[in-house]
Amino acid sequence: MDFVFLIFLPIVVALFVPLLFRKLKGIHTGWFVLVVPVLLFIYYTTFLSTTMDGGHAISELQWIPALGISFVSYIDGLSLLFTLLITGIGALVVLYSIFYLDKNKEKLGNFYVYLLIFMSAMLGVVQSDNVISLYLFWELTSISSFLLIGYWYTRDRSRFGALKSMMITVFGGLMMLGGFVLLGIMGGTYSIRELIAQSSTFVGHEFFTLALILILLGAFTKSAQFPFYIWLPDAMEAPTPVSAYLHSATMVKAGLYLVARFTPIFAVSEVWIWLVTGIGLLTLFWGSFFAIKQTDLKAILAFSTVSQLGLIMSLLGAGAITFHTNEAIFAFAMFAALFHLLNHATFKGSLFMIAGIVDHETGTRDIRKLGGLMSIMPISFTVAFIGSMSMAGLPPFNGFLSKEMFLDSMYALRDFQLFNFDTWGILFPVIAWIASVFTFIYSFYFVFKTFAGKRKEQPLPQDPHEAPIGMLVSPIILASLVVAIFFIPNVVGKWLVKPAVMAVQPYQYSHPSEVAVTVSAWHGFDSPALWMTVGVVIIGALLFVSLSKWQKVYAIQPEQLSLNALYDGTMTFSEKGMNKLSRFYMTGLIRTYLMYIFAFFSVITISVLFMKNAFVVDMSSFTKLNSFSIINAIILLLGVAFILFSKTRLGAIISLGAVGYSVALFFVIFKAPDLALTQLVIETVSVALFLLAFQRLPKLSNHGETKRNKLANAIIALGVGVTVTLVALSAHSQKLISSISQFYIDTVATEAGGGNIVNVILVDYRGFDTLFEIAVLSIAGIGVLGMIKLRLAGKEDPDENK
C-alpha cells in the first residue's frame, strides 16, 4: 500500500468537516473526527514488527522530480515513535474536546479543520525523507498552530499569542530552509537518508557549520528553547485541547525530532554537541525557575514544558557524543532522551487536560483563588497527583526512570575528555541538579496549591464540581500509562525506544537489540543519580514548604528587562518605524510609484550593462531609412510632444492614439502587415476605452507638482528612454545565443501545422500564456459587470444603506 497518502488523510477529512458541522446539528462533530486518529493509530501500529527487526518502510509520491523533490514517507523507529504519539495523543485529545467544547456555542467546524490540518502537517514532518517536503509540512504546522492558538479570535490575548508563535517559529523555519539548501548543495540530494550516508564527506566543507546553525535555529524556535521559548506561554490562550496536543506531545516535539534526525550528520561537530547540550540545559534551568513565578495553571505547565523540552534537548546533545566515543553512558543518554520524550507526552498531556477541567468546572485557572478541591474533585486530583509526581521524578511513575537516566548522563559529562568537557563539564550535573530541584517545586506547586489546603473565602466564578466522566477518560488513560510504563519500561523500550535509538545512531547499531540499555528503578547505593535525587527531594521539600517566604524574589526582576519586553519593544519599534517609512514613500499617487519602478529599472539595467561590458553597438545590419520612415518618425515624435504639453485629457488621448498609429505604419513600412493590423485594432479600442473612462474625470491638475518634481520626472523619463535604447542596440548588436526566430521558421509548418508565425506562436507555442491572459480578461470583465450591477442596484434602492 502507498501509505504516503495517509499523511494527507486528515486534510482530506477536514474538507468535509464544515459540511458535517452544518448538517448534523444534534451530534458533536468531534465524534466523526475521532475516527481519523484512531484508524491511523491502529494502522501505524502494524509497522512495529518491522521497526523492531531494524527495518523500515518507504512510500513515495512524486512531486517535482526534475528538481529531486517528492513526498517520501519513510517510517523507521524514530518516525514511528513520533507518528504513534501524534495519532495516539491526537485521538485522546479529540475525545477530550468532545466534552470540553460545547457544540452549541463553539465554531467546531473551524476547530476540527485546523486540528486535522495540524495532524497532517505533523505526520508529514516526522515521516518526510525529503528536506524540502519536510520544510513544507514544517511551515504548515506553524500556520495551523497559528489558527488553533487564535481560535478564540475575539480575544486580544489569543490573537497576540497566535501572532507571536507564528512570527518566531516561521523565522526559525526560514533559517532551517537555508540550512536544508546548503545541505542539498553539499550532498547533491535532498534525501535525508542519502545525506546521512555521505555525511562523512561534509566535515570541513565551508557550508557545514553554517548549515548546522541554521537547522538548529529551526529546531530551537519550534521546541521553545532559550531564548525563543517566549512564544509558548502566550500560546496557552488556545483552548485546552490545543495546549494538550500541540504544546505537550506534538508541535513542540518537532524541534526535538529535527535534532534527533540530523544527529548522524552533525554529531561529528563540536559546535553541535555544545549548542544542543548547553542550550538544552540552560532552557531546563530557565523554564523550571520561572515556572514557580506563574499564577495561571496553564502558564505553570507552559514553563514546565519549556524546562522538560530543555531536558530532552540536553540528552540528545549528550547522546550525540557516541559518535566520538564508545562509552555506554552516552548511548544510555540517547535512550533516555527518547524515553523521556514518550514519558513527557503522557504526564504532561494529562496535566494540561486537568488544568482545563479545573478551569471548566470552577471558572478560573488562577492558582491564588484555588485550593481545597481535593474532596470536591477527587478523580481530577488523583490524575493531577500522578502526573505531577511523574514530572517531579518520583517513583512509582515513569518520569522517575527517565529523570534518573538524565542525572546519570549529565554526571558522566564531567569526565568526557574531548571539546573541553573535562574543564567545563562539571557545570552540567550542577545545573541539572539545581533545575531538578525547581522541577520538584513547581510540580508540587501545581498539584497541592490547586487541590490541597482550605477553600478560599472568596467564592469561585462557578460552583466547583467533578468533571463529567467523558472529560475524564482521556486524562485517566494517560495517567494509567504513567504508572504502567514504570512497571514495564523494558517492554516499551523494546517496542518503541530502542528502534528509535537505532534510527538516530545507525553507525553504532545495525539492529535494535544491540542497544544494550536495561531500564530499572534501582541501581544500587553507589549510583550518583540516587543521591542527587535524595538531595532534590530534601531541598525541594524545604523550599516548597517555605515558598511564600522566598517567592517574592521574582519581583526583583523588572518586567522591562524580560525577553518578552524585548520582543514587544522590537515589534512596536518595527511597526512604528515601518509606518513612518511607508508614509514617506506611499504617497497614494500612481505617478510616484511609477517613478520608483522606472528609476530602479534604469539604474539596475544600465549598471549591469556596463559592469558586465555587455553594451555593444553594431549598425552594419541596420535597415536603411527611407523618406516614409523619416516622415513617420517625425509624426511619432510630434505625437509624444503633444502628450507631454497637452492641457486636457482629450488632447493627450488623441495624441497617444497618433503615436500608436505611427507605430502601426512602421510595421507596414517594414512589411509586417499582421502586426500592423493588430496594432491598429489595439490602438482603436484603447482610444475608445480611454475616452469612455476619462470623460467623467475632473480637469487635469498638478496635484502639488513642483518644478523640482518635474525635473525629477524628466530625468527619470530620460533615463528610461536611454535604458531601453541601449538595451535594444545591445541586444541587436550581440547575441550570446542563437535567436529563437529560426526555430519558429523551421517548425511553424511541420510541428504546428500553421502558416502565420505570429498566430501559431500565440495559439500553440504560447497557448497556456494566451489562455491565462484570456482568463484574466474574463475575470476582469466579470468584476466590472458585478460592480455595474451593484451600482445599478444602489440606484434602485438609494436608502438601503442608510
- pLDDT tens, residue by residue, 107-155: 899 999 999 999 999 999 999 999 999 999 999 999 999 999 999 998 9
* 14-41 core/surface letters (b: 16 or more CB in 10 A; e: else): beebbebbeeeeeebbbebbbebbbebb
- Please check the confidence at residue 700 and state whether its pLDDT lies above 70: no
Q: CA neighbours within 13 Å on the CB side: how many for 225? A: 27
- Do 753 and 688 lie in one domain? The reply is no
What torsion, rounded to 10 degrees, do the Cα atoms 202, 206, 208, 213 define? 180
Q: Residue 468: what residue type?
A: P
- Please check the confidence at residue 275 and state whether its pLDDT lies above 80: yes
Residue from 153, 107, 155, 149 nearest 233 by CA: 149
Residue from 334, 208, 327 nearest 261 by CA: 334
Percent of the chain at pLDDT > 90 equals 57
Percent of the chain at pLDDT > 70 equals 96
- Do 662 and 695 lie in one domain? The reply is yes
Give the CATH number, domain containing residue 703: 1.20.120
Residue 439 lies in a domain: no
- Do 598 and 731 lie in one domain? The reply is yes
* Domain end call among 714, 736, 758: 736
What torsion, rounded to 10 degrees, do the Cα atoms 351, 356, 359, 365 define? 50
In this structure, the chain runs to a length of 802
Between CA 728 and CA 719 the distance in angstroms is 14
Give 43's contacts (C-beta < 8 A, 6+ positions apart). Answer: 3, 6
Between CA 304 and CA 248 the distance in angstroms is 10
Burial group, residue 590, by CB count within 10 angstroms (0-12, 13-18, 19+) = exposed
- Do 597 and 716 lie in one domain? The reply is yes
Residue 349 lies in a domain: no
CA distances from 592 to 535, 569, 600, 705, 724 (A): 71, 32, 13, 11, 20
Per-residue pLDDT of 232-247, as tens digits, reads 999 999 999 999 998 8
Residue from 378, 381, 365, 384 nearest 462 by CA: 365
- Do 595 and 727 lie in one domain? The reply is yes
Q: Residue 100: what residue type?
A: Y
Q: In this structure, what C-alpha cell is assigned to residue 328?
A: 555506554
Contact 235, 248 (CB under 8 A): no
Q: What is the span of the domain harbouring residue 634?
A: 590-736
Between CA 596 and CA 102 the distance in angstroms is 54
Between CA 119 and CA 70 the distance in angstroms is 20
Q: In this structure, what C-alpha cell is assigned to residue 723?
A: 535604458
Contact 330, 292 (CB under 8 A): no
CA distances from 262 to 129, 182, 477 (A): 11, 14, 33
Residue 51 lies in a domain: no
Residue 614, pLDDT score: 78
Using only C-alpha atoms, what is the Rg of the chain?
34
Query: Interhelix angle for 328-362 vs 469-487, to 10°?
Result: 160
669 confidence band (pLDDT: 50, 70, 90): confident
Give the pLDDT mean for 540-557: 91
* Domain end call among 530, 551, 586: 586
| DSSP line for 373-399 | -TTTSHHHHHHHHHHHHHHHT-TTSHH
Residue 788 lies in a domain: yes
- Do 636 and 669 lie in one domain? The reply is yes
Range from 114-123, 274-283, 708-717 carrying the lowest mean pLDDT: 708-717
Residue 768 lies in a domain: yes
Between CA 210 and CA 493 the distance in angstroms is 35
Determine the straight-line distance between the first and last CA of the chain, rounded to whole angstroms: 62
Residue 792, pLDDT score: 66
Residue 20, pLDDT score: 87
- Please check the confidence at residue 802 and state whether its pLDDT lies above 60: no
- Do 656 and 682 lie in one domain? The reply is yes
Please tell me which residue, 422 or 227, carries the higher pLDDT value: 227
Residue 243, pLDDT score: 92
Query: Which spans in 670-740 are helix H?
Result: 673-694, 707-733
Residue 794, pLDDT score: 59
Q: In this structure, what C-alpha cell is assigned to residue 17?
A: 468537516
702 confidence band (pLDDT: 50, 70, 90): low
- Do 663 and 683 lie in one domain? The reply is yes
Between CA 32 and CA 403 the distance in angstroms is 38
Give the pLDDT mean for 67-75: 89
Residue from 104, 349, 140, 97 nearest 239 by CA: 97
Q: Which helix (H) or strand (E) holds 193?
A: helix 192-197
Most confident of 393-407, 679-693, 748-762: 393-407
- Do 704 and 788 lie in one domain? The reply is no
Residue 800, pLDDT score: 46
* Domain end call among 710, 736, 762: 736
Specify the number of domains making up the chain: 3
Between CA 132 and CA 405 the distance in angstroms is 35
- Residue 408: other Cβ atoms inside 10 A: 20
Q: In this structure, what C-alpha cell is assigned to residue 66?
A: 526534475
Residue 536 lies in a domain: no
DSSP annotation of 511 reads S
Between CA 471 and CA 726 the distance in angstroms is 75
186 confidence band (pLDDT: 50, 70, 90): very high
- Do 727 and 784 lie in one domain? The reply is no
Residue 639 lies in a domain: yes
Burial group, residue 406, by CB count within 10 angstroms (0-12, 13-18, 19+) = buried
Between CA 291 and CA 302 the distance in angstroms is 8
Residue 622 lies in a domain: yes
Residue given cell 452544518 in the structure block: 22
- Do 625 and 671 lie in one domain? The reply is yes
- Do 708 and 578 lie in one domain? The reply is no
